Structure 1
Amino acid sequence: MKNTLKTSALLLALLGSSAVYAGNHAGGHSHDHGSVKEAKEAMAANTEMADGEIRKINKNTGKITVKHGEIKSVEMPPMTMVFGVADKAMLEGLKEGDKVKFNVKQEGSNYTVTEIKKAQ
């Protein structure tokens, strides 16, 4: 019985990977549009949030200056930097000097805060 279950599981795994391979290589064309970007965004979403301290907030422009530690999701070393925010409403309730945890996404040379919250 155990061998039957193992064989069935192996067969299902092989069939699944064959279907994925066939789908990705149909007609000799790659259907890999944007998968690197999607993988980076998924990695960023699953990466722990970076630590920082707010140095300056400009609610009019939606910019925030943060002195931060390493941001692993975008391979950025510790520094003080100005970031845009995905939504100006994210800045409500924050003030200079607040310790925060935040996530960043990179688009070309632009870095945007996608999530921010006061550190506990």
Structure 2
Amino acid sequence: MKNVFASIAVGCALAISASAYAAGDMGNMDMSGSSAKPAGGQVGMSHGEVRKVDTSAGKLTIKAGPIENLGMEAMTMVFKVQDPAMLSQVKVGDKIDFVAEEVGGAVTVTKLQKQ
């Protein structure tokens, strides 16, 4: 019976040390997400359709295709806009090209043009 408990204790110690080693081994990885941007700092345009314009909140709801620079798949999402004047350029149903970037922790439309 003592041998069984000793075996369990050794097994647990090995499992814990292996997971600690694996976690420590990731310290040199770049987790900033900056590798998603194309070389030269140029961010490609994404495509979408305006579903809602909320001028009081400074937001657009966009049915968007993939947003490659952020690693996001196609979805419908609410975006902040960097410049409130962008909201007067579009209406519900408009097809748009846009650039979305993370600004201050929020996904924000930084460039917008109608198709």
- Work out the CA distance in 2 between the residues paired with 1:97 and 1:45: 31
Q: Which structure has the bigger radius of gyration?
A: 2
Quickly say closer, same or farther: Cα 1:92–1:43, change in 2 above 3 A.
Answer: farther
Query: Counterpart of 1:60 in 2: which secondary structure?
Result: coil
Question: Aligned partner of 2:57: which letter?
Answer: T
Say if 2:49 is the partner of 1:57: no
What does residue 48 of structure 1 align with? 44
1:81 Cα deviation after fit: 0.1
| Residue equivalent to 2:82 | 86
Amino acid at match of 1:94: V
Would you say how many aligned residue pairs link Structure 1 and Structure 2?
Answer: 84
Instruction: Indicate whether 1:95 and 2:91 are aligned.
Output: yes
Q: Compared with structure 1, are the counterparts of its residues 55 and 45 closer, same or farther at alpha carbon in structure 2 (3 Å cutoff)? A: farther
Q: Distance in 2 between matches of 1:57 and 1:86?
A: 14
- TM-score normalized by the length of structure 1: 0.61
TM-score, structure 2 normalization: 0.63
Distance 1:44 1:51, change over 3 A: farther
The one-letter code matched in structure 2 to 1:90 is M
Instruction: Please identify runs of 4+ aligned residues in structure 1 that moved more than 2 A.
Output: 36-45
Structure with the bigger percentage of helix: 1
What 5-or-longer segments of structure 1 have no aligned partner?
Answer: 1-35
Instruction: Give the equivalent residue in structure 2 for 1:118.
Output: 114
Gaps of 5+ in 2: 1-31
